[in-house]
Structure 1
Amino acid sequence: MQVVIGRIGRAHGIRGELNVDIRTDEPERRFAPGSSVICGSRTLTIASARHHSGRLVVAFKEIPDRNAAEAIHGTILEAVVDPHDVPVDPDEFYDHQLVGLQARVGDVVVGAVTGIIHGPHQDTLTVRIDEREVFVPFVTEIVPVVDVVGGFVTINEIEGLLDPARAETSE
């Protein structure tokens, strides 16, 4: 099973180092020297990882220079995890744990989680409701309960979130 752990940003210097936008709450674990990550269709080995000016700067053994680094700019990084593995933080989840969970408003099942979009500032759940796909910001104020064992997430109904026809309009 693969989980998203980051996205390759700009090249850093001339020796093949890259800025990485972190998409995991376990960067020390996922970007530890010697560990492997999947970058598109290839596997890369972490040579080093350090923080510089609030960013994670990573060097890969297979990326020797700036030209090679620039060639993978924008690529998603993934790690292979055991399907039964869970994040250390109880408030964090792997995508595969969320996909398929019932989406509830109160005790009423309204749909099912079909995917997760990893944005630069927050994640978004995609929820299938009837024949529509709805995007739900994955923040505690809107999704206060995630019960993987129970098989559901609870969504706080905000006018127009799950039913766009009921959205407020300013006129």
Structure 2
Amino acid sequence: MVAKDRNQGKNQLRVGRLVKAHGLKGALKLELYTDNPERRFTPGAEFTLQVPEASPWHGKTVVVREYRVMNGNPVVFLEDVDDREGAETLVRAILWIDQDDDEVEDDAWFDHQLVGLDVVRDEVVVGKVVRVEHFPAQDLLIVRSGDQDIMVPFVQAIVPSVDVRAGRVIVTPPPGLFEELPDTTDTADAGESSGSDASE
């Protein structure tokens, strides 16, 4: 699941992250955030880079030279990146591409489509999405529940369904994400106390 972003007035979709250099000819292994990599990573496709300001690639774009799957892993070759040393300078960079509002991508939504949606667990509204945070590993939905903001990983296992038209997202959070777990120590102590009273 991917949250898309609006950057400098344009709609942008995060489509991948360069994970590590592969081989000696400048290839980079990809972590994909798109359901259609063959269409996204065609030769000549240009991506905006999200990298630290100290990176030599800050403010630059990259162009795809070749995309292929090697040993089950998606791999991309970029123009002007011809050796492993050059590829190493791009490790952990996130790739963004401009996208039209009416272009459909499975399991991907713009931030503005998610903000304001009710968050529903077991048919009960437990909060509302107030913003989306983008991180290299995953996106987070920031959910206002009562007087606190809860960070919900925007992944299929925890957010199995998004229904923008119905105005809600369905969540199946792990125990303790939306409520404090009972103190098992106190429960155990209470059991021991009642046991000792019964024996007396």
TM-score w.r.t. structure 1 length?
A: 0.79
User: Does the C-alpha gap of structure 1 residues 30 and 144 become closer, same or farther in structure 2, counting only changes over 3 Å?
Assistant: same
Q: Report deviation, 1:101.
A: 2.4
Partner of 2:195: none
The amino acid of 1:162's aligned partner reads F
Q: 1:161 aligns with which of 164, 174, 177?
A: 177
Candidates 34, 46, 68, aligned match of 1:24: 34
Moved more, 3-12 or 130-139: 130-139
Distance change in 2, residues 1:61/1:157 (3 Å)? closer
Match of 2:128 among 97, 101, 111: 111
| CA distance in 1 between partners of 2:66 and 2:183 (Å) | 51
Which segments of 5 or more consecutive residues in structure 1 lack a partner in the other structure?
A: none
Q: What is the deviation of 1:102?
A: 2.6
Tell me the distance in 1 between the aligned counterparts of 2:19 and 2:156.
28
Please give the root-mean-square deviation of Cα atoms over the aligned residues, in Å. Answer: 2.6
Q: Partners of 2:31 and 2:183 in 1: how far apart?
A: 36
Cα displacement (A) at 1:23: 1.6
Q: Give the number of the structure whose residues are more often helix, by fraction.
A: 2
CA distance 1:24–1:116, shift in 2 (3 Å): farther
Separation (CA, whole Å) in 1 of partners of 2:172 and 2:25: 48
Partner residue of 1:62?
80
Give the superposition deviation at 1:56: 1.0
CA distance change for structure 1 residues 14 and 157 in 2, over 3 Å: closer, same or farther?
A: closer
Distance 1:132 1:29, change over 3 A: farther
For 2:145, the equivalent position in structure 1 comes to 129
Secondary structure in 2 matching 1:94: strand
Q: Distance in 2 between matches of 1:37 and 1:126?
A: 27
Question: How many Å apart are 1:18 and its aligned residue?
Answer: 0.8
Percent identity over paired residues: 35
Q: TM-score, normalised by structure 2?
A: 0.69
Aligned mates of 1:59, 1:141 — CA distance in 2: 32
d(CA) in 1 for partners of 2:173, 2:81: 47
Work out whether residues 111 and 130 of structure 1, in 8 Å CA contact, stay in contact via their aligned partners in 2: no
Aligned residues: 165
Q: Which moved more, 1:9-18 or 1:47-56?
A: 9-18
- Output the CA distance in 2 between the equivalents of 1:142 and 1:115: 15
- 2:19 pairs with one of 9, 14, 21: 9
**Residue of structure 1 aligned with 2:109, choices 89, 94, 108:** 94
Q: How far 1:43 moved relative to its partner?
A: 1.5
1:27-66 residue pairs with structure 2 within 5 A? 27-40=37-50, 41-66=59-84
Gaps of at least 5 residues in structure 2 are: 1-10, 51-58, 186-200
Separation in structure 2 between the aligned mates of residue 33 and residue 84 of structure 1, nearest angstrom: 23
C-alpha spacing 1:140/1:9, structure 2 compared with 1 (3 Å): closer
State the AA in 1 paired with 2:68. R
2:176 counterpart letter in structure 1: G
Q: 8 Å contact 2:94–2:136 — kept in the other structure? A: no
1: CA distance between counterparts of 2:84 and 2:152?
A: 38
